[in-house]
Amino acid sequence: MNLILFGPPGAGKGTQAQFIMDRYNVVQLSTGDMLRAAVAAGTELGRKAKSVMDAGELVADDLIIGIIGDRIGEADCANGFILDGFPRTLAQAEGLDVLLAEKGLTLDAVVEIRVPDEALFARIEKRAAETGGTRADDNAETLKNRLAVYHEQTAPVLGYYEKKGLVDTVDGLQGIEDVTADITRVLDGKR
């Protein structure tokens, strides 16, 4: 099962990805983790990405898609994968479609965890209070900036997948267990 977890920062994608990994025996793929691993491994794509990152620039879509292509070819992805935080733009979504087609793979689902912005601010404030603000992104100003980027660049990707009939939306305002149950119903229906 190959899927994308979609939603704004703080929606609970990471929490739900862990459950999905355990239940469906799939691998969570984070583009940041994959970039760091490719750099550490010294792969050709990793070397290219390192020079871009060392210059403080954003890694180009073709490099990220190439790294994802390498990663999904590894044995632990044989049962499937969860993309969390990718694609972030329409160009990345289109590039992912090309990559998957070249590998004879498809996306089985795009699960949107929908949470209104106001609720996200409340969650960040609560998490910061509970953890003593140990996460650098646990503040309203950072979340405001991340949400602006999300709404401007990433939210349009949802429409791209809706047109393909791949999107199932779950209410992210529910308790964690209820969100998990809704995602399970969606994914079990795709099997």
Gap between the terminal Cα atoms of the chain:
8
Q: At what angle do helices 61-72 and 31-41 cross, to 10 degrees?
A: 80
Cβ atoms of 46 and 39 within 8 Å: the answer is: yes
Which candidate in 135, 144, 164, 185 is catalytic? 135
Please give the structure tokens belonging to residue 123: 């969650």
88 is catalytic: yes
Which candidate in 13, 50, 71, 123 is catalytic? 13
Question: Phi and psi dihedrals of 150, rounded to 5?
Answer: -60, -50
Angle, CA 127 vertex, CA 122 and CA 133 arms, to 5°: 120
CA atoms of 172 and 13, how far apart (whole Å): 10
Question: Phi and psi dihedrals of 94, rounded to 5?
Answer: -65, -40
Enumerate the active-site residues.
13, 88, 127, 135, 146
